[in-house]
Amino acid sequence: MVLTHDIYLRLLSLSSTSTNMGIPSFSFSMHLVLLSILTSLSLTSEAAQYRYHFCSDQTTFSPNSTYQSNLNNLLSFLNANSTRETDFYNTTVGQIQTPENTAYGLFLCRGDLSTNECQDCVSTATKEIVQLYCPEEKEAVIWYDECMLRYSNRSFFSIMEDEPSKTLWNLLDITEPDRFLQLTLGDLVPVAANASSGAKKFATKETKFAESETLYNLVQCTPDLSSFDCRRCLWEAITNLSNSYGRKRGGRVLYPSCNIRYEVFSFYHMQAQAVAAPPKGKGKISTAIAIVIAVTIAAAVVLVILLYCFRRRKASKKSNSINEVTSGISDGILNYHAASEVTTLESLQFDFGTIEAATNKFSDDNMIGEGGFGKVYKGVLHEGKEVAVKRFSMKSSQGLEEFKNEVILIAKLQHKNLVRLLGCGIEREEKLLVYEFMPNKSLDIFIFDPRRRSQLDWKTFYNIISGIAKGLLYLHEDSRLKIIHRDLKPSNVLLDHDMVAKISDFGMARIFCENQNIANTKRVVGTYGYMAPEYAMAGVFSVKSDVFSFGVMLLEIISGKRNSGFYLTEHAQTLLAYAWRLWCEDRVLEVVDNFLMESCWTSEIVRCIHIGLLCVQENPQDRPTMSNVVVLLGSESIALPKPKHPAFSVDKFIQIDKFSVNEASISSVVPR
């Protein structure tokens, strides 16, 4: 029944119009009965139920090329191996000497399917993906109800990936949507934990929602993932589902590495519990055997009770730590129920011993950075994954506030230009954050160190500038939350192995409501030299505050000089004042670092300086939005408005909290 869902919708349409024709309309229970019957038919269907596909247009292959030959062989191997009694298979076709022509691929069948059902779906997928959807792309993924098939010219095995992704919804609404969502999330979280700890990486659960309704949940990862990466993938999918919840009776999230789904009908095969009957003539057992069984059961019960008490005591300690962290989260961080935030923390939790072992007990040899709130260490998890661990100072109350902000906030954000939070560790006074490791450290190292700066050309710096702009645009406009970073500076921009810029350190960030554009605070936080004047002077901040910080960074990248401390030179009081004077005198190229002039287009770098000056204008209303900045950076044909004078200095303020060693990170400022 390929068109099961279409048939159901047509019958629904018929039932909705039957009243107008004088025919009694279907009752709600009849809808459920009809849906159940059609669903049961679809479960036994031989045809795979297509849901979504993605083809990357970044790389394509030519007809009759080596890659096409390898891909055809790959799909043939996948199809042939779908007859094995397994739900998952991956393989590679090609030679190491020619990696651009090597094809990597896998299939994943739903964990409840029979071998024949899996084979039918994989057979359909291997044909349709190249014939109907992705005829010339080297990288593709296709999802059906029963299976998923994926291939690429790069190795993706054992790597957790959540892009491309797709969220799909049932067309029908649910009654009591808030209670239903709470029940759904309450089921999905433990089911995800069960799946991640199992070899098959697959789990289901059924729960009564109403007298005549049952909630069915299913989660699954590709079995090549580690337990940690599977849990992380499923949690991101659950968070995605929660954030975009549309009050529907069913929904699913499709990732390359995992998928989740919930419905109020059974969309998978229920696993019957087999009860073995005693063999004939063997109904009685001896007294000795009965005693042995009784003693064994008693010992097992005692052991379970002791283990339960131990775990409860340990969980209580963890819970107290979590409650301490989640209590008092300020300035709009608690946009969701407190229980949801606690669940977020619990799902991201690392065992403290695991982090301690990964960092060699926080050895000084592993320390890669130090800030106002603590130290950062490089760590290697037991499966070989490199991570960065921020260990917050036990003595800093502001460190605790930053921890609260960051662990709740950044866990909800996903963008290639934002650093990814992998988890956290909470034990007694210890507060730890675990991030993806950035081998090239932070941007300030490459801007202000002449030796390292000479390693990069203008194109690399331009890509970094564009990456920062896109990350800020996501925070301001494209994410489900409007977020003001408030401490954007080069040391808070990290660089991965490909020199892709990733904004980090959200400890001072604040969430705005959907229609909110501006806010005021008595507690000004940030870093001298990057703070917008209206924020430093009056505590007023908005997206335009981050735009100002971006403009300062852009001018620092181009000049190789810090805005703060520029008064030590003979040129001007600040870098902004110096750039503005040269602009007005039509000598703006003098602000450019000599090394960059060797690798840049003059018109392109002048345009970037122009954009930087637009961003640092004194009046916030004159500054462009980040969406405008991204457009202006990507097009040379759009005319730029004339910049007005920038905010030259905020030296009317003194700091009343301590500075960090290298940068003046302040927690509060007051007028002289």
| Residues known to be catalytic | 487
Do residues 233 and 257 lie in contact, with contact meaning Cβ atoms separated by under 8 Å? yes
State residue 632 phi and psi, 5-degree precision.
-65, -35
Helix-then-strand count for the chain, H and E: 19, 25
Instruction: Return d(Cα 332, Cα 349) in angstroms, integer.
Output: 23
3-state helix, strand, coil in the chain (%, to 5): 45, 20, 35
Instruction: Return d(Cα 364, Cα 344) in angstroms, integer.
Output: 31
Strand-pairing partners, residue 150, are 106, 141
Q: Kind and range of the H or E element at 396?
A: none
State residue 140 phi and psi, 5-degree precision.
-155, 155
What single-letter amino acid sits at 525?
A: V
Do residues 388 and 375 lie in contact, with contact meaning Cβ atoms separated by under 8 Å? no
> 413 in helix, strand or coil?
coil
Residue 483 CA: distances (Å) to CA of 475, 511, 517: 5, 5, 10
Instruction: Judge whether 390 is annotated as a binding position.
Output: yes
Do residues 513 and 332 lie in contact, with contact meaning Cβ atoms separated by under 8 Å? yes
Instruction: Return d(Cα 49, Cα 266) in angstroms, integer.
Output: 16
What single-letter amino acid sits at 219?
A: V
Residue 190 CA: distances (Å) to CA of 50, 214, 277: 28, 17, 32
Strand-pairing partners, residue 493, are 503
As annotated, the binding site includes: 390
As annotated, the binding site for ATP includes: 390
